[in-house]
Structure 1
């Protein structure tokens, strides 16, 4: 059992929310959390020593994720967000069985994509682990298939490293991203699901290409829905931070390998004050 007692309500109201990702990509989810719940405290843990998770085996992802969540629980987190689609795909069920705090995981936003598509053709851009995971297969079977909606899957292994490196637009990966989007356009795809928490960070770049070429295509991710789910769970368990809690406390950022590059990228992507700490 990964221990943390949700019954200790008075103490947990002031406890932090834990956010975990294999790298800095989960900061895209964190930004939605902070925007919706600015009174909360947050601890972010990035397993930068083992990033990316998308090309690892299911067992390896499970092991690494259990270790990370155990660490966050020992830090006193009242709720943990698995801000990593690959980790959610292979560890979410096990985490919910073992943890005594609420666990919120991610699944690519296929359901909202199906609700807004006009052509019945959507695409999911995600890691290999996410695309092969049971969570995505389940939502496609339950939502897309009954509606007769085609779901195209694509994995580009260099996207996560590209984001971690700062997303230079002259990079080969930027060209590959535009090329793939062009192919989807020709196939009639009108909604692209950004199915990895790293991907919203290049949303502005891709949206600019869509706008410049007048492409009838919408980009969508899971960030807003996850933030609302967290807010709902805090209310259900009565562990939300009080309204008079101070705003703007620096993000506590931990990493399994805290390099200068990680710190520089995290500062740029977090869009808030960051305190880098060593356990």
Structure 2
């Protein structure tokens, strides 16, 4: 392994680009390869066995691309498969899970909300995390339909607005002061969510924390790239149009049969 090998990033679709952005902004000289498994999105409705199998398939693809580190930019894949991935492969993994800790630590009402997929909320890892904060009331809400609308490019649709109102209104009525976004797709909904939530409710996602962890791991164990800033590479197994649009058409997206 050498320092100039790429960082591999995968998600169940385009949502993990919110994690990719944070990594790319913090570490612009690192080459990145992003894999969007949009054909199988959303992972949140699949069984643990299916999620583990898809995560291993994604990992195999990125390892063939010679990646030195793999970021699982998907809450559902992390909470259901990261242990199995670390047991099977020698490459270092960084996962992403809902940022319960900062929300619970800083909440003044001791009531926080989490919007996530069914797969994340049902996972053993998530339940172990929430058990650590028994003094905090955690209002869980499955974001049924949100990922599919984002994957279809319908972020600002009336249907999205209606769904978000139905999911967030009970949290507002329960007096949350923090909302944790437990899916890497959901940061793309922040402009919409801010229109619904009271101004004092803070929104937390995991992008910055994952980027800092990536920086830390490279510094301590792998080493930073010594090359100049390089263009990231994006792959998808469905129509590349939506991924290209979410990237503001700044980068090329290659469709693969995967």
Asked if the contact 2:143/2:167 (under 8 Å) is kept, the reply is: no
Alpha-carbon distance between aligned partners in 2 of 1:168 and 1:64, rounded to the nearest angstrom: 25
Distance change in 2, residues 1:267/1:114 (3 Å): same
Match of 1:172 in 2: 159
2:103 alignment partner, SS class: helix
Asked if the contact 2:168/2:196 (under 8 Å) is kept, the reply is: no
Deviation at 1:207, TM superposition (A): 1.3
The answer for unaligned runs of 5 or more in structure 2 is: none
1:13 alignment partner, SS class: coil
- Runs of 4+ in structure 1 off by over 6 angstroms are none
Deviation at 1:66, TM superposition (A): 0.6
State the Cα RMSD in Å: 1.5
2:103 to 88, 94, 113: 113
1:49 alignment partner, SS class: helix
Alpha-carbon distance between aligned partners in 2 of 1:75 and 1:110, rounded to the nearest angstrom: 33
Deviation at 1:226, TM superposition (A): 0.4
Alpha-carbon distance between aligned partners in 2 of 1:246 and 1:272, rounded to the nearest angstrom: 22
1:251 corresponds to 2:232 = yes
Deviation at 1:273, TM superposition (A): 3.1
Match of 2:247 in 1: 270
**What are the equivalent positions in structure 2 for 1:199-238 lying under 5 Å apart?**
199-210=186-197, 214-238=198-222
Match of 1:158 in 2: 145
2:126 to 121, 136, 154: 136
Alpha-carbon distance between aligned partners in 1 of 2:166 and 2:77, rounded to the nearest angstrom: 28
2:113 to 112, 123, 133: 123
Q: Say how many residue pairs are matched.
A: 256
Give deviations 1:54-88, integer Å, cap 9, x for gaps: 10011001111111101111110000000001111
1:60 to 31, 47, 50: 50
Give deviations 1:82-139, integer Å, cap 9, x for gaps: 0001111111001111111110011100001112211000111000000001111111
Match of 2:175 in 1: 188
Deviation at 1:32, TM superposition (A): 0.2
Asked if the contact 2:243/2:253 (under 8 Å) is kept, the reply is: no
1:189 alignment partner, SS class: coil
Match of 1:4 in 2: none
The answer for unaligned runs of 5 or more in structure 1 is: 1-7
